[in-house]
Amino acid sequence: MADRLDELSAHATPRGLVPHCYRMLGSISEAQQVAVRSDSLATATTACLARSTGRALPTDLVAASDDPEGKLRQRPEVLWLEPIPDELADDRPLGLDYVAALQRLPAPERAALLLHDLEGWPLDRIIDLVGPVHLDRLHLSPRIHPEPDPQLLAAYRAAFEDYDVPAITGFFTDDTIWEMPPFTSWFRGARSIGRLISTHCPAKEAGDQILVPIKANGQPGFAVYMRDPTDNLHRAFQLQVLTLTATGIIHAIAFFDLTLFETFNLPDLLTTLPKNPHEPSPSLHLTRTDKHH
């Protein structure tokens, strides 16, 4: 997988095609497919327009749930927004909130905004490519994400690995959002999130979960591995991407699409701990198991 990422980066990232296609499509897997077959920003944009339907988060579809102990509703048929590894990103806006907002625009307007605001294309060139658009109606202001606090992230990680629900909810406020595609149910506020975790998380005690730090969309996050009680091994469970402010975590998205572990060059079965991207330390070896084991 690392060789594949290197190949894609060498082919596309210097021209910004992978992150551009990702902003267009909201899917890193589709963005890689389009970018590797494109020889310019124009051809990549045209290819994205041909397949772009817009991807969603649960917060785009339904109101917040007021029943954290209830059944979690799931819609696997929905095209869900995906995160992008920082290794495939560029220095332009890629925050999950920004990419989600782009997905709410019609595809031609999305392309026009990106080509104008990020690539500096003139209006006549944009119209030649995507058709008539009204740029004066289009404007998105990306959120400025603060540098993550390593101590906060370490404490958050420890709270999950200790399965200390009161400590976990202490990182959230009454306005914090927790969502979990492909589940449409999402929750607002520390109390609801705590009830959700207490009811639905498969962990029962300290050591059941191991969190591996990742970086996605210019934001901190964790790959969560859950202990399988049948063989006492930790297997891929979810990817969390966090939105931070100076006071704590205001948004957490837990992605349950396990194919994203391969996209992030992470193993399905955790055998050794990898390098923490938030702390300078030697990189340790990771072994990927067969997906069907």
Question: Does 291 score more than 70 pLDDT?
Answer: no
Mean pLDDT of 110-138: 91
Domain shared by 69 and 93, yes or no: yes
Looking at 108, 137, 166, the residue that finishes a domain is 137
160 within a domain of the structure (yes/no): yes
259 within a domain of the structure (yes/no): yes
Q: Containing domain of residue 211, as a range?
A: 150-263
Domain shared by 166 and 251, yes or no: yes
281 within a domain of the structure (yes/no): no
Domain shared by 110 and 154, yes or no: no
288 within a domain of the structure (yes/no): no
280 within a domain of the structure (yes/no): no
Map the chain to HEC letters: CHHHHHHHHHHCHHHCHHHHHHHHHCCHHHHHHHHHCCCCHHHHHHHHHHHCCCCECHHHCCCCCCCCCCCCCECCCCCECCCCEHHHCCCCCCCHHHHHHHHCCCHHHHHHHHHHHCCCCCHHHHHHHHCCCCHHHCCCCCCCCCCCCHHHHHHHHHHHHCCCHHHHHCCEEEEEEEEECCEEEEEECHHHHHHHHHHHCCCCCCCCEEEEEEEECCEEEEEEEEEECCCCEEEEEEEEEEEEECCEEEEEEEECCCHHHHHCCCCCECCCCCCCCCCCCCCCCCCCCCCCC
Looking at 109, 137, 165, the residue that finishes a domain is 137
Tens-place pLDDT, residues 139-185: 788 888 888 999 999 999 999 999 999 999 999 999 999 999 999 99
User: What is the number of structural domains in the chain?
Assistant: 2
133 within a domain of the structure (yes/no): yes
65 within a domain of the structure (yes/no): yes
For residue 279, what pLDDT is reported? 58
286 within a domain of the structure (yes/no): no
Looking at 107, 137, 167, the residue that finishes a domain is 137
Domain shared by 6 and 100, yes or no: yes
SS3 of residue 250 by DSSP? strand
Mean pLDDT of the chain: 88
Question: Does 287 score more than 60 pLDDT?
Answer: no
Domain shared by 127 and 19, yes or no: yes
pLDDT > 90: percent of the chain: 77
Domain shared by 220 and 158, yes or no: yes
Domain shared by 26 and 122, yes or no: yes
Domain shared by 25 and 126, yes or no: yes
Tens-place pLDDT, residues 231-254: 999 999 999 999 998 778 999 999
284 — pLDDT class (breaks 50, 70, 90) = very low
Q: What is the CATH number of the domain that holds 200?
A: 3.10.450.50
Domain shared by 90 and 179, yes or no: no
